[in-house]
Amino acid sequence: MNKFKPLGFIFLIIILFCFCINIGLTNQINRINLFSTSIDIRNFEITNTSLDMAPWYNPILNGHYIIEQPTADFLLIKTTDTQFVAADSSKLIIMTLASPINFLLLCILIFGSGLYLRRERRKRHYKNQIAELNLQANSLLTAFNLQVKPAENPLGVSSLSQSINSLNTHVANYVKQTQTSICQDKLTLLIDRHAYIEHIDRQINHANQEELKCALLFIDLDGFKQVNDSFGHSFGDEILVQVASRLANVLRHHKLSNINSANQLEQNLSRLGGDEFSIFIELLDDSDRVVEIAKHVLSELEKDFVLGNKIVKISASIGIAAYPESASTPQALLQLADVAMYRAKSDGKGIFKVYSPEMGNKMRRYHYLLEELRLAVACKDFYLSFQPIVHVEDCMIDYFEALTRWDHPVEGMIPPSEFIPIAEESNLILELGDWIMLESCRQMAAWHNAGMRKVKISVNVSGIQLKHRDIYDWVMKKLKKTGLPATSLMLEITESTFIKASPRIIKELSRLREEGITIAIDDFGTGFSSLSTLADLPIDVIKIDRSFIAQANKSQKYNDILNTISELGQKLGLKIVAEGVEEIGQFELVKKMGVSSVQGYLVSRPESSVNVGNKVLRNNTSNLSASGTSAWDIFSS
């Protein structure tokens, strides 16, 4: 319908113009001078002339009479009694059109028609563009799965306006969600480490200008890894979500919240990664306040975590660093709070520590030894010493414990108590443990072939090795490679490691026992395991921790505990070994209690393989060949 609108307008303009010409023509006829004119005027006899009215469809000549002649048509001008006075119609029309008024009118009509047509063409072009934009907008709405209320004209401006408004709303929400997603931890919905550091940087700059103090809490969950290992990662994820919720409650309680206006996320609480969280205190007007907040965090995280029908207990270790006392940058503040957190873990877990320069020295020492340890493990810059364990009755050698020593080219002797924990934390114990097991078996195989057939070599195995090594295959390959009989090897595993051992590990250790390998529980009494569980563990030997031996002659309680362990071991058919025997009185006490073997400086300090060979092999060849072992001369040690 709209397509015919311009044509109708043009037709109407033509009709109007024709009627204007008609009026002009009438006026022109009325003004004709019959005696002086350039128009052909003729007289026609009435009796011989046919006079016709102009047809209705001719708007120019409408209302005029026409006298048709072969050469031309004439318009009636005047009638007399006997004649019709008529003028040439063509010339009259041309004269009328040529008049200034009609010419101006014609120009106006042509110009107006052109403007109208141009306007209509532009409107049609705009409508086509709007229709195209509507189609594109509808495609976007469909792609984004958006619904809008149908408009009266689906291709009109109102429909396009609705679509654009819907798309604008969607884009605004998408931008907000994207900004939120970029800086948000997907599990806990807290801000991530990157956004947290940016926030701290802004706050520190403000604090620097206003001369304010700030503080940061670095929170690490204790025992979270065991939760994951025992119940699965989905269970652990739910723990992390609950931890985030409890920490958010702490922020609200102490009025520490700072909500970002753009993404509506809390900026003073972050999950840094894994089981690590952090709280930033923007204004620290009282040093006791940060302690109060840390205690509140510990209290919240010590409460039971209930998931389904399971109740889990965990705790947290917290490190605290303050601005500007401890550090002046976000990264340094986090790092030093991390250092303080590790001190809290090493000092017993479930506590908080405020950073001090002494902690930084310890951390630098840690990283220095870690790098040196990597080089030493790669170059195998270690050697083994062997400490004998002897029977209390006759001092005959029961076994040797292989002990690793590290003689650093600059530091000198670095004790195992310092480098073994670093090796375990960095998993370097895996490569180091491979070397220790191989060298221990190799040395014992040499001694076994030399006559020490009833002497065992004892090798310490860490929880890291049990977790990452297939312990059965690992040990059996070392025995096969060195030719050492399985009955000549003993594995020492700490009580705390046994407590956390999975069923798979227990099964592997049981298979090793079936091969003839002896399993000992080391540092017994320090892991808080139930004595009743001893019957279910695949062990042959209990090594009583040196702390009990040191206190047994001084405290009746320690004496009673030591006596109970000895009696229980005897009833279960387990060999009891007392560690850390350094005095004659201690030796006599454990002997009276029925302890079968002793180890300690009273018997011997760790010896090199050469010294062991000189003491046992060179001087006791005949005794070795008969008994497969030899007495250890205590007083010559």
Closest alpha carbon to 206 in 91, 330, 104: 330
User: Is 123 within the bounds of a domain?
Assistant: no
181 CB-near residues (< 8 Å, 6+ apart): none
| pLDDT higher than threshold 70 for residue 635 | no
DSSP conformational letter for 535: G
The pLDDT tens digits of the residues spanning 83-106 come to 888 888 888 877 777 777 767 777
Co-location of 373 and 486 in the same domain: yes
Co-location of 399 and 430 in the same domain: yes
Co-location of 453 and 479 in the same domain: yes
How many whole angstroms separate alpha carbon 537 and alpha carbon 550? 27
- The share of the chain scoring above pLDDT 90, in percent, equals 41
Provide the pairing of β-strand 489-494 with 456-460.
parallel
Of the listed ranges 93-97, 264-268, 376-380, 484-488, the one predicted with least confidence: 93-97
> What value does the mean pLDDT of the chain take?
85
617 near 624, Cβ under 8 Å? yes
- The share of the chain scoring above pLDDT 70, in percent, equals 92
Co-location of 488 and 345 in the same domain: no
Q: What is the pLDDT of residue 281?
A: 94
DSSP assignment of 49-66: ---EEPPTT-TTTTT-EE
Q: What is the pLDDT of residue 412?
A: 92
Burial status of residue 193 (CB atoms within 10 A of its CB: 0-12, 13-18, 19 or more): middle
Co-location of 386 and 462 in the same domain: yes
Co-location of 351 and 390 in the same domain: no
User: Is 230 within the bounds of a domain?
Assistant: yes
Confidence of residue 527 (pLDDT cuts 50, 70, 90): low
The pLDDT tens digits of the residues spanning 393-444 come to 888 999 999 999 999 998 899 999 999 999 998 999 999 999 999 999 999 9
Neighbours of 627 (CB within 10 A): 15
How many whole angstroms separate alpha carbon 357 and alpha carbon 322? 12
Q: Which residues pair with 319 in a beta bridge?
A: 218, 353
Confidence of residue 510 (pLDDT cuts 50, 70, 90): very high
Report residue 278: phi and psi, to 5°. -150, 145
Confidence of residue 124 (pLDDT cuts 50, 70, 90): confident
Confidence of residue 636 (pLDDT cuts 50, 70, 90): low
Q: What is the pLDDT of residue 178?
A: 62
Closest alpha carbon to 404 in 392, 393, 415, 396: 415
Q: Which two tokens stand for residue 304?
A: 């039971």
Predicted TM-score (pTM) of the model is 0.60
| pLDDT higher than threshold 80 for residue 526 | no
Q: What is the pLDDT of residue 107?
A: 78
Q: What is the pLDDT of residue 358?
A: 85
Neighbours of 212 (CB within 10 A): 16
| pLDDT higher than threshold 60 for residue 637 | no
Tokens 């320690």 correspond to: 558
The boundaries of the domain holding residue 346 are: 184-355
Q: What's 567's domain CATH number?
A: 3.20.20.450
How many whole angstroms separate alpha carbon 468 and alpha carbon 241? 29
Identity of the highest mean pLDDT range in 30-44, 164-178, 338-352: 338-352
Co-location of 253 and 402 in the same domain: no
How many whole angstroms separate alpha carbon 544 and alpha carbon 540? 13
Q: Which two tokens stand for residue 317?
A: 């270790």
How many whole angstroms separate alpha carbon 148 and alpha carbon 580? 82
- Residue of higher predicted confidence among 160 and 152: 160
282 near 267, Cβ under 8 Å? no
Span 105-134, mean pLDDT?
78
Co-location of 316 and 387 in the same domain: no
What is the SS3 assignment for 581? coil
Q: What is the pLDDT of residue 530?
A: 57
User: Is 171 within the bounds of a domain?
Assistant: no
The pLDDT tens digits of the residues spanning 229-267 come to 778 888 889 999 999 999 999 999 999 999 887 778 899
| pLDDT higher than threshold 60 for residue 622 | no
Confidence of residue 151 (pLDDT cuts 50, 70, 90): low
Write down which residue in 64, 98, 132 finishes a domain.
Answer: 98
Co-location of 588 and 539 in the same domain: yes
What is the SS3 assignment for 620? coil
Q: Which two tokens stand for residue 517?
A: 């390998």
The pLDDT tens digits of the residues spanning 547-582 come to 888 888 888 888 888 888 888 888 888 899 999 999
Span 138-150, mean pLDDT?
75
Write down which residue in 30, 64, 98 finishes a domain.
Answer: 98
Domain count for the chain? 3
User: Is 317 within the bounds of a domain?
Assistant: yes
| pLDDT higher than threshold 70 for residue 529 | no
Confidence of residue 176 (pLDDT cuts 50, 70, 90): low
Q: What's 238's domain CATH number?
A: 3.30.70.270
93 near 24, Cβ under 8 Å? no
Q: What is the pLDDT of residue 456?
A: 95
User: Is 303 within the bounds of a domain?
Assistant: yes
Burial status of residue 314 (CB atoms within 10 A of its CB: 0-12, 13-18, 19 or more): buried
How many whole angstroms separate alpha carbon 399 and alpha carbon 492? 12
| pLDDT higher than threshold 90 for residue 593 | no
How many whole angstroms separate alpha carbon 550 and alpha carbon 64? 145
Q: Which two tokens stand for residue 102?
A: 């009609």
User: Is 174 within the bounds of a domain?
Assistant: no
251 near 269, Cβ under 8 Å? yes
Write down which residue in 66, 98, 130 finishes a domain.
Answer: 98
Q: Which two tokens stand for residue 308?
A: 């389904």
Using a CB cutoff of 8 Å and minimum separation of 24, what contacts does 192-195 make?
192/270, 192/271, 192/272, 193/270, 193/271, 193/272, 193/273, 195/265, 195/267, 195/270
CA atoms within 13 A on the CB side of 268: 22
User: Is 295 within the bounds of a domain?
Assistant: yes
267 near 260, Cβ under 8 Å? yes
Q: Which residues pair with 323 in a beta bridge?
A: 214
Co-location of 454 and 334 in the same domain: no
Q: Is 283 left (phi over 0), alpha (psi -120 to 50) or beta?
A: beta
Co-location of 206 and 282 in the same domain: yes
The pLDDT tens digits of the residues spanning 457-471 come to 999 999 999 999 999
Span 134-146, mean pLDDT?
77
Peptide bond into 485 cis (omega under 30): no
Provide the pairing of β-strand 352-354 with 315-323.
parallel
Span 203-224, mean pLDDT?
91
The pLDDT tens digits of the residues spanning 8-59 come to 767 777 777 777 777 777 877 777 765 556 677 888 888 888 888 888 777 7
Q: Which two tokens stand for residue 209?
A: 């200008």
Closest alpha carbon to 591 in 634, 636, 627: 634
Provide the pairing of β-strand 73-79 with 83-88.
antiparallel
Helix ranges (DSSP H) in 426-555: 428-450, 463-468, 471-482, 495-500, 503-514, 546-552
- Give all strands (DSSP E) within 223-328, no chain letters: 269-273, 276-281, 305-307, 310-312, 315-323
Co-location of 243 and 374 in the same domain: no
Report residue 85: phi and psi, to 5°. -95, 120
First to last CA, the chain: 119
How many whole angstroms separate alpha carbon 11 and alpha carbon 84? 35
- Residue of higher predicted confidence among 198 and 361: 198
- Give all strands (DSSP E) within 282-329, no chain letters: 305-307, 310-312, 315-323
Q: Which two tokens stand for residue 217?
A: 């809490």
User: Is 165 within the bounds of a domain?
Assistant: no
